[in-house]
Amino acid sequence: MLFLQFTVDSTRYVLATRAIIEVVPLAPLQKQPNAPAHIAGLMNYRGRSLPVIDISQLFAGYDSALRLSSRIVVVKLALPDGAQRTIGLLLEKATEILKLDESQFTEPGFENPHTPYLDKVTMDGQGMLQRVSPENILSAMDAERLFPATGEH
């Protein structure tokens, strides 16, 4: 399986490419007043409005750096009720694709109810990689209120 590697605060994470529709460069984002800090804004994606979540804010509470290596990853999520949503994830250092085997991942042995999106871990020569399950990102942030079910996204 292929995974996209990114970092938050120099910790490495991977995202399964199966969920990814497209990796796009940074584009202007429409800021949303009074929104939580991890809502980076809305992006014009192919003529539709795409909410973008800043993963650095969500994970570590700082804004993603505005560098060429920071990219918006458009992912398709299957919600528990069967509906599908498309959202953008703003990731830092999203420049590398890794080939990892499902069997390489092991249970982290630690569970935090506040970070349900953090999944199994795997080790390589440079340290540890933790898998992020994008489905649980939404549930972690009150999907009902922030992302109404209306609209065919």
Our CB check for other proteins shows the closer of 23 and 140 to be 23
Q: How far is the CB of 95 from other proteins (least distance, A)?
A: 5
Our CB check for other proteins shows the closer of 69 and 139 to be 69
Rounded to whole angstroms, the Cα distance separating 75 from 146 reads 17
Asked if 109 interacts with other proteins (CB under 8 A), we say no
Asked if 129 interacts with other proteins (CB under 8 A), we say no
Binder among 27, 37, 78, 149 for other proteins (CB under 8 A): 27
Q: How far is the CB of 116 from other proteins (least distance, A)?
A: 26
Rounded to whole angstroms, the Cα distance separating 152 from 149 reads 8
Binding residues for other proteins restricted to 28-67, rule: CB under 8 A: 28, 43-47, 66-67
Distances (CA, A) of 4 to 56, 96, 131, 144: 16, 6, 10, 28
**Of 117, 146, 136, residue with least CA distance to 77:** 136
Q: How far is the CB of 153 from other proteins (least distance, A)?
A: 10
Q: What's the token pair of residue 92? A: 């830092």
Q: How far is the CB of 132 from other proteins (least distance, A)?
A: 20
Q: Are 69 and 95 in contact (CB under 8 A)?
A: yes
Our CB check for other proteins shows the closer of 18 and 36 to be 18
Beta bridge partners of residue 39, listed in sequence order: 53
DSSP state of 42: E
Footprint on this chain of other proteins (rule: CB under 8 A)? 21-22, 24-28, 43-47, 66-69, 76, 86, 93, 95-96
